[in-house]
Amino acid sequence: MGDKVIINEVGLRDGLQIHPHFIATTDKLALLDSLIGAGVTSFEATSFVSPKAVPQMADAGDLFPRLPQKDRIAYHALIPNEKGYERAVAAGARSVALVLAATETLNKRNINMSLGEAVEICKTVLKRARTEGIATRAYIAAACGCPYEGAVDLSVVYALTDEMFAAGAADVGIADTIGVANPAQVARLFKTLVGKYPAARLSAHFHDTRAMGLANSWAALEQGIRRFDSSIGGLGGCPFAPGASGNIATEDLVFMLNESGFETGVSIDGLRDAIRVAERITSKHLGGRIAAYFASQDKRRAAAAE
């Protein structure tokens, strides 16, 4: 595996879905523009879910056709069911991400389906996407622990991954939805999966609830994973998974990767501009674990300039 890492920015979806006030579509597009300016090339731009379940995503059908079409920029749309698939494709999506949780309770709370129903719906949609030439990712949510059921047996995650690949998923995303994974567990999980499937078809999605987001990312990197979800400023959380804090911050992840010699194509200065846009549109003070370091560097520079 090479040293190129793809950062899939999920701030616009995972990051904003829990935000209590509706953010105008133009503001979402401004955030996207700033992230493109920073060099990010892959986005989970929105979700085609029930607007009753997640009002923030009610503009998915307006937003998607307005995404700037540029070379090498890929947009993915999260979908919970076949209706979401149809809405996404009608709005111009060429890549969809399905969501399936590893436990009965989270499926029920998140998408109002049993695990068995969710698996069947994923299979139906994956098959349909394949015949219609739409790229797919299947997320296994709560893969490292569930807010309702606690520990998740890794054998369940392996079995669901097998089912999703067998049904035609191009990629399977392992999601630590509430941020309870630890690096030893992540290493074990990906070691097993990479023993069976190409690392290029697997991706990792971590939340930073317990300050282990970067350590977990590194554990996945060591197993050959080169695709990671993250969210600008560490925005995020799932309204249906209590206890989840934000995704790993894109700037934390990119800083670690760039410092370690991986090729992300993403600039830290550009991300800092994007954080300012994210702060403006959410009226929140944002920033990952690296924020204090950035602030100290700014102070030093200002003092040196005086």
Question: Of residues 208-267, which lie at the interface with Zn ion (CB under 5 A)?
Answer: none
Helical packing angle, 213-222 and 183-194, nearest 10°: 30
Both tokens of 193, joined, read 């999966």
Among 9, 14, 251, 252, binds Zn ion (CB under 5 A): 14
Q: How far is the CB of 290 from ligand COA (least distance, A)?
A: 26
CA dist 47 → 17, 26, 43, 127, 205 (Å): 9, 16, 11, 20, 16
**Binding status of residue 81 toward ligand COA by CB under 6 A:** yes
Residues 87 and 27: their CA atoms lie apart, in Å, by 22
Q: With CB cut-offs between 5 and 8 Å by kind, which of ligand COA, Zn ion, none does residue 215 bind? A: none
Among 23, 99, 140, 221, binds ligand COA (CB under 6 A): 99
State which residue, 48 or 190, has the beta carbon closest to ligand COA: 48
Nearest residue to 9 via CA among 233, 258, 198 = 233
Question: Of residues 38-57, which lie at the interface with ligand COA (CB under 6 A)?
Answer: 47-50, 53-54
Q: How far is the CB of 280 from Zn ion (least distance, A)?
A: 23
Q: With CB cut-offs between 5 and 8 Å by kind, which of ligand COA, Zn ion, none does residue 230 bind? A: none
Residues that are catalytic: 238
3-state SS, residue 190: helix
Binding segment for Zn ion (CB under 5 A), chosen from 9-17, 115-123, 166-174, 251-259, is 9-17
State which residue, 120 or 279, has the beta carbon closest to ligand COA: 120
3-state SS, residue 48: coil
**Binding status of residue 111 toward ligand COA by CB under 6 A:** yes
Residues 8 and 174: their CA atoms lie apart, in Å, by 13
State which residue, 113 or 256, has the beta carbon closest to ligand COA: 113
99: alpha, beta or left? (left if phi > 0; alpha if psi -120 to 50) = beta
CA dist 78 → 12, 82, 203 (Å): 11, 11, 15
CA 177 and chain centroid, separation = 10
Q: How far is the CB of 125 from ligand COA (least distance, A)?
A: 11
The residue ranges that bind Zn ion (CB under 5 A) are 14
What are the residues binding ligand COA (CB under 6 A)? 17, 47-50, 53-54, 78, 80-81, 83-84, 87, 99, 110-112, 238, 240
